[in-house]
Copies of this chain bind each other. A is one copy, B any other.
Amino acid sequence: MNIGSAARATDLPAKTIRYYEEIGLVCPARAENGYRDYSGSDVHRLKFVQRARSLGFSIEECRLLLSLYDDEQRASADVKALALEKIGQIDRKLVELQSLRATLTRLADTCQGNDRPDCPIINDLARA
């Protein structure tokens, strides 16, 4: 299967798939003409990566997840630990964003938002 078909099958851009090969994440065979030749297993792994990425895992985490996937002997605890760590990262990000949101909302609420120049938001930025 050429890269274009693999792209359609995985819903990933061909550029991304080439990049995944470049970094050694999913490496297809090559046809005689030099074209990349993706097997069913390759496509499967690409989909695996695509789903892991969409869940917020980094490329390196995807690499680890793939190796855990390949390792029939791994403990489910290892995978769960990775998921829990990712949840922790998300939680920290959520707290940060909620705090930002609160600050911005407070500032925006005190701003009249009319055509006059007086603006508490700018004032706050200029003199905190």
User: In the complex the two chains form, is B48's CB within 8 Å of A125's CB?
Assistant: yes
Q: Of all chain B residues, which has the CB nearest A76?
A: B119
User: In the complex the two chains form, is A83's CB within 8 Å of B101's CB?
Assistant: no
Distance in Å: Cβ of A78 to nearest Cβ of chain B: 8
User: In the complex the two chains form, is B48's CB within 8 Å of A117's CB?
Assistant: no
A115 contact from B51, B69, B75, Cβ within 8 A: B75
A73 contact from B52, B73, B98, B117, Cβ within 8 A: B117
B residues in contact with A126, CB < 8 Å: 44, 48, 69
Distance in Å: Cβ of A75 to nearest Cβ of chain B: 4
Query: What number of A residues sit within 8 Å (CB to CB) of B?
Result: 52
Q: Knowing A97-B90, A98-B94, A105-B87 are in contact, say whether A128-B51 is a contact too (CB < 8 A).
A: yes
Stretch at the interface among A15-23, A29-37, A106-114: A106-114
Query: SS class of chain A's interface: helix, strand, loop or mixed?
Result: helix
Measured in the bound complex, the distance between the Cα atoms of B91 and A97 in whole Å is 9
User: In the complex the two chains form, is B93's CB within 8 Å of A97's CB?
Assistant: yes
A114 contact from B76, B97, B105, B118, Cβ within 8 A: B76
Q: Does A121 reach chain B (CB closer than 8 Å)? A: yes
User: In the complex the two chains form, is A104's CB within 8 Å of B83's CB?
Assistant: yes
